[in-house]
Structure 1
Amino acid sequence: MKGKNQTSVNEFILLGFSDLPKLKSLLFVVFLVMYILTLLGNFSIITIIRIDPHLHTPMYYFLTNLSFVDICYSSTITPKALIDFKEEENTISLFECAMQLFMFLNLGSAECFLLAVMAYDRYVAICNPLHYTVVMTRRVCTQLVTGVYTVSTVYSLLHTVNIFSVNFCESNEINHFYCDAHPLLKLSCSDTSSNEIVLSILAGVFGFLAVIPIVLSYILIISAILRIRSSEGRRKAFSTCASHFFTVNLFFGTLIFIYVIPSSYFSLYTNRALSVIYTMVIPMVNPMIYSLRNKDVKQALRKMKTAHIQLSALGTMKGKNQTSVTEFILLGFSDLPKLQSLLFVVFLIMYILTLLGNISITTIVRVDPQLHKPMYYFLTNLSFVDICYSSTITPKALVDFKVEENTISLLECATQLFMFINMAAAECLLLAVMAYDRYVAICNPLHYPVVMTRRVCGQMMIGVYIISTVCSCMHTVNIFSVNFCGSNKINHFYCDAHPLLKLSCSDTFFNEMVLSILAGIVGFLSVITVVLSYILIISAILRIRSSEGRHKAFSTCASHFFTVILFFGTLIFIYVIPSSQFSLYINRVLSVIYTMVIPMVNPMIYSLRNKDVKQALRKILEKKWF
């Protein structure tokens, strides 16, 4: 009886600081200043460490990762909190809430484990200084950091699935300014005792694994420092771990106050103040601690200022003797002269099939009223992106097979790069949107028409194109802000970011860092949305009792799942795995798959594996012939 009167919650209201209306403007300014300082401070730490060779040590490698985690960590909570200060009703959808919780737990636990790894690093440096370079090799450091991110991701996935496996069907008001585990469990209308036990066990196990290495490391460090006879030696030894020790106390001290000591001991205001310290203040002060209390970082900063003045003077003198590049030569497949005609025919066929396939999909969806649904609206946009994407690369490649010198002007190269990045980013984000669409359709079928309205779908697509355009603008400006004054031969069949940066005669470190950050943000947001959507989809499908029901549910997202695997799989091979691990031929083959094959096969996947599209095509053919 009770189940019939319950309504499933599909969005929450973050009460946040709604009980302090007079302080909203002040809090907005304070939070904004803290967020700007967090970004500036942590980006400065990363830049200083990357530029100065003296800081290319394990300790500072871990510090760059800590700064990266702090940027992401603060960005998970603060922007949403800032927006909520300017809106009347601070709503957050179920999916957005799950994503925020996942990211919050992921980055929070990553910081815990990273501080544990940094404690171990300090232990080896102080207690075994002669073996430090042998123990803390580059490979070991990379494995430790990879382990940190892997464990934190697994931990946050387990937590998120555990929290969102309960039913939310009563109040939807979260008494917090972000989605956290305990406030969410309080809203459940089902028995949460098992979920709370799982929550405590996970937090306890992972917390214990993080705290124990820190405690043991510092016991051994302090005992080693006390054995040093000279006061100068003790002071020097302690100074190498003072910043880390201060950070550990601040981070875990706040953590204990929030999650270990019962919240009934504090007022609501105290709890919120502690949460602000934990999510915003600590990421802001970490770079200050490591810059103000660290002699090496201060020296590196001083050297950077001096070097900047010297480089400005040298750049003015050097510029007089350099000739600026006005066009590039695309080497492409010039080292395969016997295959030029065959490759021309293959590329031409693929391009024709891409146009025919994607135009057919668009036409079928537009003509058949049965396909006027969000899923197929996104599919027509995917076909449009694939047409533009392939047309950015293939026609130029075809022309280059028939001309002797494959030149491309600076402006044409910049335009091609802009369009290539724009369409690639749009496809990434569009696949993420389509994953979210499938999540709503399978996990909340009754609310699907209410959630995925025409207006929402339109807004999502506008968002995809705006973000991809902004991303490609930033990428293009970043790449073409360097000086091209040496070789003008691009070892590729189209203008891509990394081959272009290799031709620069100026320092490209900052440009490469910006390139990695921008690509990382778009890629990470897309992949996390897809992964979380499919985790929730698979868990929902597994709860369906009949095998027929499970088959039907999975068939609605099979085509999209296959497309995602193909697209992101190729993307990882090209841009994530170092190119040095593959030959030039394999890299070019992967680029052909990424830029020509995928846009060609996408319509085949959606027509051959999709019953609705096949039925629509059959109806169109029947009308034409009969």
Structure 2
Amino acid sequence: MHIDFISNNTLFSSVCQNIMEEVNQTSSRRFILLGLSNVPYLQALCFFLFFIMYVITLSGNLLLVTVVRINPKLQTPMYFFLSNLSIIDIGFSSTITPKILINTLAKDRSISLLACAVQMFFHLALGSTECFILAVMAYDRYAAICRPLHYNTIMNKMLCVSLVVGSWSFSFMNSAIHVVLTFQLQYCKSHHVNHFFCEIPPFLRMSCQDTLLNEIAMYISAGIIAMCSFCLTLISYVHIISTILRIRSSQGRNKAFSICASHLTVVALYYGTIMCMYLKPRSTYSPETNKIVSILYTAVTPMLNPIIYKANQTFPERFILLGLSNVLYRQAIFFIVFLVTYKITLSVNLLLIIVVRINPRLHTPMYFFLINLSIIDICFPSTTVPKILINTLVKDRSISLLGFAVQMFFHLTLGSTECLIPSIMACDRLAAICRPLHYKTIMNKMFLTAGAWSISSLNSAIQVVLTFQLPYCNSYHVNYFFLVTLYYGTIMSMYLTPHSNHSLEIDKPVSILYTAVTPMLNPTVYSIRNKDVINTVKYIMQKFSKINNLRCGYFISMF
């Protein structure tokens, strides 16, 4: 009986030990991504930059795919490949950027083994496919320029589909092999990945096994995919350039060069960074350099692709804003009114931001949203009012195409965000008054604010791209003082008015109300009854008064 008890006790101990080992092994199957920086202000800068690039990438590529689908003139092999490139860029950026954005806000930067493997798989697969598609597009340009009479025969539908399917299939098989080889290794040194996403080179450095087989496989794949694709692209462009140089018409030569220049720009940036990352010797490995290189081909290139390829379209170079009035005394009145309104808007909103920052009692979700509203109210009129002031003083009221698009984008983004932030502030008040015990749980201020800015930026990018898809053949004279977008309140009367009742002369004063007057009134309306705000303003005024008295005393003592 005693022997049975001992044996059972031994068996129980061994089972417990196996369970503990399994638990430890499971807990160790997580990796910690160290990211780009641990410095708070650099993290904020990285978040902002990646967020903007991601929004532009998604909106630009989605719109390019949509435009190609709905425009019969773009149903060509070139735009078929370009649609595939846009789909790749959306997926490629989406495998990495959301995790970067989350990691810059969260303290826990860990990623599970499965999530890491999935990220690595899709990153490698989509990155490899982009290499092939770029080479295929170079061949397409070669056939179009060097063999124009046989182009439709060479680039037939069957060949185009085969090239795309072959590119995707080979890339996904290659990616699966590398992911399996990488996660066969043991990582006993550390589980801290000195990178911002799961990529092969940092994992090879972390392994305590011999990684020679993995490195050979990586060099062979990079050589076949990147080098061969790059060489095929270069050969295609050597033939293209030699053909272009034989064109007698300078206009035709310039057009051909402009079409190919955009492709070459993407090729140089993408292939260059890929080869720098995967074909350099292990002895020259540098984590910080690799992070910068990875940013270029994972975030920058997908953002630039739709912009560069769309740059070949023809647009007017400049537009002329007709403004509010051509009568001199009215122009003088408008100048004074807008200048005074703009100064009040800047000073009052800046004062509110300073007050909230220096008073600890105001570090609440409501005032966090109010700071966002003040930032919007500073930037919102700044997209239009300075241009209005300049146009009332100068004869040349023209605006460049780029200036046109930038003003429209930021005006629409900030206006849309201002629609959403007051709604969030209303929800904040609802939660504070009706659900006080759950207030801190409900009001996730960072998530709500990021969501508002994300939706607005995406909406703005879509609207701007759709606007500049239109041909402007009637006139480049814009009967307005800036580029109108969306907003509610006065915006509803602006945008929900039937087209038959539309009047530009009525729209102008309506637009003044929501672009100049509302941003001036917001900080006063939201903070005038708060004692903490009033006391902090008094404190600031007293400080300024003391500083001025000291200055006066100093100057008097000098004389």
TM-score by length of 2: 0.51
Match of 1:511 in 2: 214
1 CA distance for matches of 2:287 and 2:472?
49
Distance 2:68 2:96 in 1: 26
* Residue 459 of structure 1: how far off its partner (Å): 1.1
Alignment of 1:120-139 (within 5 A): none
The residue number in structure 2 matching 1:396 is: 99
* Whole-angstrom CA distance in 1 between matches of 2:187 and 2:468: 55
| Pair 1:448-2:151 in alignment | yes
Which residue of the partner structure matches residue 526 of structure 1? 229
SS in 1 for 2:206: coil
Does the alignment pair 1:461 with 2:164? yes
Counterparts in 2 of 1:469 and 1:611: CA distance versus 1, 3 Å: farther
Measured after TM superposition, the shift of residue 584 of structure 1 is 4.2
Tell me the SS of whatever aligns to 2:111.
Answer: strand
Where does residue 346 of structure 1 map in the other structure?
A: 49
Residue in 1 aligned with 2:122? 419
CA distance in 2, matches of 1:425, 1:610: 28
2:191 & 2:285 partners in 1: Cα distance? 24
How do 1:51-66 and structure 2 match up within 5 A? none
Shift of 1:539: 1.6
Q: Which residue of 2 aligns with 1:485?
A: 188
Q: Give the whole-Å Cα distance in 1 for the aligned partners of 2:72 and 2:90.
A: 23
Counting only pairs closer than 5 Å after superposition, residues 79-228 of structure 1 correspond to structure 2 as none
8 Å Cα contact 2:61/2:306 also seen in 1: yes
Kept after mapping to 2: 8 A contact 1:484/1:505: yes
| 1:565 counterpart residue number | 268
Counterpart residue number, 2:451 = none
1:122 matched to which residue of 2? none
Equivalent residue number for residue 298 of structure 2 = 595
State which drifts further: 423-432 or 522-531: 522-531
Q: Alpha carbons of 1:619 and 1:422: their partners in 2 closer, same or farther (altered >3 Å)?
A: closer
Structure 1 residues 616 and 374: alpha-carbon distance in aligned structure 2, compared to 1, 3 A threshold: farther
Cα separation, partners in 2 of 1:576 and 1:516, compared to 1, 3 Å: closer
Once residues 337 and 578 of structure 1 are traced to their aligned partners in structure 2, the CA distance between those partners, rounded to angstroms, is: 33
- Separation in 1, partners of 2:178, 2:39: 31
Q: Which runs of 5+ in 2 are unaligned?
A: 1-20, 317-400, 402-464, 474-484, 486-494, 500-559
Aligned CA distance change for structure 1 residues 496 and 441 (closer, same or farther; 3 Å): same
Is the 1:368–1:616 contact (alpha carbons within 8 Å) kept by the matching residues of 2?
no
Asked whether 1:337 is paired with 2:37, we answer: no
Q: Are the aligned partners of 1:559 and 1:610 in contact in 2 as well (CA < 8 Å)?
A: no
CA distance in 1, matches of 2:170, 2:195: 27
How far is the alpha carbon of 1:417 from its aligned partner? 0.5
Comparing 602-611 with 370-379, greater Cα deviation is found at: 602-611
User: Percent identity among equivalent residues?
Assistant: 44
- Opposite residue 397 of structure 1, the aligned amino acid is I
Map 1:534-545; keep pairs closer than 5 Å.
534-545=237-248
1:579–1:587 contact (8 Å) kept in structure 2: no
Match of 1:377 among 64, 80, 86: 80
- Per-residue CA shift, 1:75-111, capped at 9, x if unaligned? xxxxxxxxxxxxxxxxxxxxxxxxxxxxxxxxxxxxx
Letter in 2 for 1:373: T
Alpha-carbon offset, residue 364 of structure 1: 1.3
1:404, 1:455 → 2: CA distance? Answer: 51
Give the superposition deviation at 1:619. 5.5
Partner of 2:108: 405
Root mean square deviation of aligned Cα:
2.9
1:41 corresponds to which residue? none
Offset at 1:418?
Answer: 0.4
The reply to whether residue 362 of structure 1 matches residue 362 of structure 2 is: no
* 1:336 shift after superposition: 2.7
Task: Determine the C-alpha separation between the residues in 2 that align with 1:590 and 1:473.
Answer: 23
Structure 1 residues 439, 616: CA separation in 2 closer, same or farther (over 3 Å shift)? farther
Residue 255 of structure 2 corresponds to which residue in structure 1?
552
**Higher CA-based Rg:** 2
Counterpart amino acid of residue 261 in structure 2: A
User: What are the superposed Cα offsets for residues 261-314 of structure 1, whole Å, 9 maximum, x if unpaired?
Assistant: xxxxxxxxxxxxxxxxxxxxxxxxxxxxxxxxxxxxxxxxxxxxxxxxxxxxxx
Question: Is contact 1:392-1:416 (8 Å) kept?
Answer: yes
1:268-307 residue pairs with structure 2 within 5 A? Answer: none
Cα drift, residue 590 of structure 1: 2.1
Matched residues in 2 for 1:334 and 1:539: separation? 47
**Structure 1: how far apart are the matches of 2:143 and 2:46?**
43
SS in 1 for 2:189: coil
Question: Whole-Å Cα distance in 2 between the matches of residues 528 and 583 of structure 1?
Answer: 27
For 2:271, the aligned partner's letter is F
Alpha-carbon deviation of 1:521? Answer: 1.2
Question: Are the counterparts in 2 of residues 327 and 409 from structure 1 also a CA contact under 8 Å?
Answer: yes
Once the two structures are superposed, what CA deviation does each residue of 1:449-499 show, in whole Å capped at 9, x if it has no partner? Answer: 111112211111101101111111111112112122331110000001011
Distance 1:360 1:587, change over 3 A: same
Tell me the distance in 1 between the aligned counterparts of 2:315 and 2:84: 17
**What residue is the counterpart of 1:294 in the other structure?**
none
**Cα distance in 2, alignment partners of residues 408 and 388 from structure 1:** 19
Aligned AA (1:565): A
SS at match of 2:258: helix
Structure 1 residue 334 displacement after superposition: 4.1
Aligned to 2:204: 501
Paired letter, 1:562: T
Report the CA distance between 1:568 and its aligned residue. 1.4
- Partner of 2:378 in structure 1? none
Count of aligned positions: 307
> Conserved in 1, the CA contact under 8 Å of 2:219 and 2:279?
no
Equivalent position amino acid for 1:482 in 2: L
Q: What SS does the aligned partner of 2:108 have? A: coil
Contact 1:348–1:398, Cα closer than 8 Å, also in 2: yes
Change beyond 3 A, Cα 1:612–1:561: farther
Residues 498 and 383 (structure 1 numbering): CA distance in 2 closer, same or farther, change over 3 Å? Answer: same
Change (3 A) 1:489 1:562: same
Aligned to 1:576: 279
CA displacement, residues 586-609 of structure 1 (integer Å, 9 cap, x when unaligned): 432222121111111111111123
Q: Which whole-Å CA distance do the structure 2 matches of 1:513 and 1:608 have between them? A: 40
SS in 1 for 2:152: helix
TM-score (norm 1): 0.46
CA apart distance, 1:620: 4.2
* Alpha-carbon distance between aligned partners in 2 of 1:569 and 1:419, rounded to the nearest angstrom: 21
Is residue 478–residue 514 contact of structure 1 (8 Å, CA) maintained in 2? no
In the alignment, the residues of structure 2 paired with residue 433 and residue 465 of structure 1 have an alpha-carbon distance, to the nearest angstrom, of 12
Structure 2 CA distance for aligned equivalents of residues 571 and 496 of structure 1:
12
Show CA shifts across 1:235-286 (max 9, x none). Answer: xxxxxxxxxxxxxxxxxxxxxxxxxxxxxxxxxxxxxxxxxxxxxxxxxxxx
Partner Cα separation in structure 1 for residue 51 and residue 230 of structure 2: 32
